[in-house]
Amino acid sequence: MPVISAPQEFNEEELYVDLRSVLGHPLYLKCEGFNFAGSVKLKAAEEMISAAEKDGILTPGSTLVESSSGNLGVALSVIAANRGYQFLCVTDSRCNRSTRRLMEALGSQVHIIAGPDAESGFLGARIDYVRQLVASDPRYVWLNQHSNPNNWVAHYRTTAPAIARQFPKLDILFVGAGTTGTLMGCSRFFREYEKRVRIVAVDSVGSVTFGGPSGTRMIPGLGTGVRPALLDESLVDEVIHVPEADTVRTCHQLARRGFLFGGSTGTVVGAAGKWLADHTAGDELTAVAIAPDLGERYLDTLYQSDWVRGLYGDDVLDELAVGTGSM
């Protein structure tokens, strides 16, 4: 029986869902949402905060400030509350209302950027605001998840080794790309541990991370409007871009089987399912995908009919209705 004294001390690391019955292809989904922050971002938050404390950057009286679309903001809120820091999350209008309220319940402040920068989108606008805050008051400490190497170190030390322990003969790993911390940490580990593992990065259509054209994205989590400083494309074997309508379809497909996941998971699983359908004729590969969070925070968006219809049209809902009837 685990007994903990701090919320960041607990994280379920060894839970996988076998999605063969859902997708028709073997895929093990590593569930990262079972901790007190509800997402994989707890690992990066803990690593970055601990490093900043060790280096003397973060001290009593400091106020953490970070740009986040949601999950890292919650993770930092959890640890800040536990360690006695003030925290200001700079997010934007796409951040789920439940996520904002959760951060506030933990004692954090939330500043919402109303509109995107003309060239760098919401992310660029958020980062500009953070830079202004840091320049205005030395008490603000910006961990900067977008360029902080401890972001990927967290997954090099924890996420990837956990996968390797469970699947020593892993063939392919699907990882969503946001800040690319999870992607880079896992890629670096497997390049050293087992070079034959194929690393497939999954991104959203409209993201500029891998050089694609910028476009409107409404589901927080994956994708960026500014190329991540952490990204090293030489560590990635393949990139798959997924339209947000497909993300919605996959999330609902999983929910119909009782698995309620967030948008990032829907994107990654959707990409993995298509890749496996195209590449595994007669061959059974050992494939793993990482699910960053669960779906409760998306009830007002991904799982709300009016929201889906307003953004992606009636076709997506019609397809979902047909799929429900056929199961």
- Give the dihedral sign, CA 205/210/215/218: positive
Catalytic residue status for 41: yes
HEC string for 28-66 = EEEECCCECCCECHHHHHHHHHHHHHHCCCCCCCCEEEE
Q: Residue 72, Cα to own-chain centre: how many angstroms?
A: 9
Which of the 8 DSSP states describes residue 8? G
Q: Please pick, among 30, 39, 41, 108, the residue that the annotation labels catalytic.
A: 41
Q: Could you tell me which of 146, 130, 308, 145 has the C-alpha nearest to residue 218? A: 308
Whether the CB-CB separation of 42 and 11 falls below 8 Å is answered with yes
d(CA 230, CA 252): 32
CA distance 300 to 98: 8
Give the chain's length: 327
Core vs surface per residue 134-170: b (16+ CB within 10 A) or e: eeeeeebbbbbbbebbbbbbbbbebbbbbbbeebeeb
Concerning whether 264 is annotated as a catalytic residue, the answer is yes
Diameter of the chain by CA atoms?
61
* Residue carrying the six token digits 């986040």: 68
Q: Which amino acid is at 201?
A: A
From the list 39, 69, 204, 264, the catalytic residue is 264
Task: Dump strand ranges (E) for the chain.
Answer: 16-18, 28-31, 63-67, 86-92, 109-113, 140-142, 172-176, 198-204, 238-242, 287-291
Q: Which residues are known catalytic residues?
A: 41, 264
